[in-house]
A and B are shown apart, each in its own frame.
Chain A
Amino acid sequence: MASDGGVSCLRRPEMINVGGIGGMESPPLDVDEVHVLAVDDSLVDRIFIERLLRITSCKVTAVDSGWRALEFLGIDNEKASAELDESSSFRQVPVVIMSSENVITRIDRCLEEGAEDFLLKPVKLADVKRLRNYLSRDVKLSNGNKRKLPEDSVSVNTSPPLTLSPDSSDSSPPPLLLSSDSSDASSPPLSPVESLSSPLSFPLDDEDDDVSTESSPTPEESPVRRQKMRSPSLD
């Protein structure tokens, strides 16, 4: 059941702030910024995560369902798996799952399906900062040296999202997909993860323009390991 309070960010990309919440629009991206596509069917959670991400210098697009996320990325739902196999740029979009359910088996499944990380809701500023830190670090690692990324690797298509398509040579998909698994009968929670991250090997290619978070965090940094150490009865 999609939230009918959902803001259709697709229609009015400049109106990502609902009712002015969150302050001004995002300034143009720096070379170190990432663009996050946040998916959550709860309006409150969308506003909240959007603010968290803005504060940590991310450009954010927030949508209310997995289907809208695919739409934003220019992926036709029905042909999703075929298009994704052909388009290597989407294979590199890291996916982070947000959920209030602290169930190890579920978390493990998300990771096995290719999710980069798992955030337990309610999400805290520290969680997003940590995510942001290792995203930046990995961006530098994936380029092999500490030079800044070439401008076009993080330039986000500033034309309205409706015109974004994987075929356009000027467009880059958002470097990070942040997806909530809020229960939504019409949209199986894991399908956006499955469709976007099913290939488990991400080719590391210096020529590739897209941000890749290929390196996995070391064990002591692993947020998921910390997650697993929390008591399962936590609610």
Chain B
Amino acid sequence: MDTLVAQLQRQFRDYTISLYHQGFLDDQFTELKKLQDECSPDFVAEVVSLFFEDCEKLIGNMARALDQTGNVDFNLVGSSVHQLKGSSSSVGAKRVKGLCVTFKECCDSQNFEGCVRCLQQVDIEYKSLKAKLQDLFSLEQQIVQAGGRIPQVDI
């Protein structure tokens, strides 16, 4: 009969794999995990948290810029998109990064409707990832609290 720890570990493993397979995360997230150890046990959670703060800030900048009806500074929007693309790339937020690529193209071609659409999608996407990662970290905590070790998941 499965112990609680074994059940949680299996859930954690399955959930992690699904996040990669569904394209939410890519191997850069794996790179992030390599940097976590006993000295920095919360490194991934902290970086990811900074990333989401960054998302909020940059999306706010983009929204404000796009709000200047008739006088949209696409360079400004594009510059925020570039930053978001960079940080999403660094943490392995694959879908967010992919959206930024499309978004950047809309900025470059000064496609206002395209930009507005992309902005909405990016907003939805980062929030979705945030919720999923919170679930993942919560599973980790439950495993540890139940006295288990967080399994290494090979994708």
Contact = CB atoms under 8 A, between A and B. Distances in A.
Interface in A163-189: 182-183, 185
Contacts, number: 77
B: contact size bracket: 20 to 34
B74 to A, nearest CB: 14
Main secondary structure of the interface of B (DSSP, over half): helix
A134 interface: no
Nearest to B87: A44
Contacts of A183: 79, 82-83
A121 B90 CA distance: 7
A45 B90 contact: yes
Interface string B71-92: 0000000010011011101111
B131 interface: no
B43 A51 contact: yes
Contacts of B28: 122, 124
A44 B50 contact: yes
Interface residues of A, number: 30
A24 B39 contact: yes
B89 A121 contact: yes
Interface stretch (A15-23, A138-146, A198-206): A15-23
Interface string B23-62: 0000010011011000110110011001101100100000
Contacts of B43: 21-23, 51
A24 to B, nearest CB: 6
A100 interface: yes
B101 interface: yes
Contacts of A235: 101
A122 B89 contact: yes
Contacts of A219: none
B31 A124 contact: yes
Interface string A43-69: 111011001100100000000000000
A122 B87 CA distance: 9
A123 B87 CA distance: 11
A42 interface: yes
Given A1-B79, A48-B90, A100 B46 contact: no
A100 B84 CA distance: 12
B37 to A, nearest CB: 8
Interface of A: 1, 3, 5, 18-24, 41-45, 47-48, 51-52, 55, 100, 121-125, 182-183, 185, 235
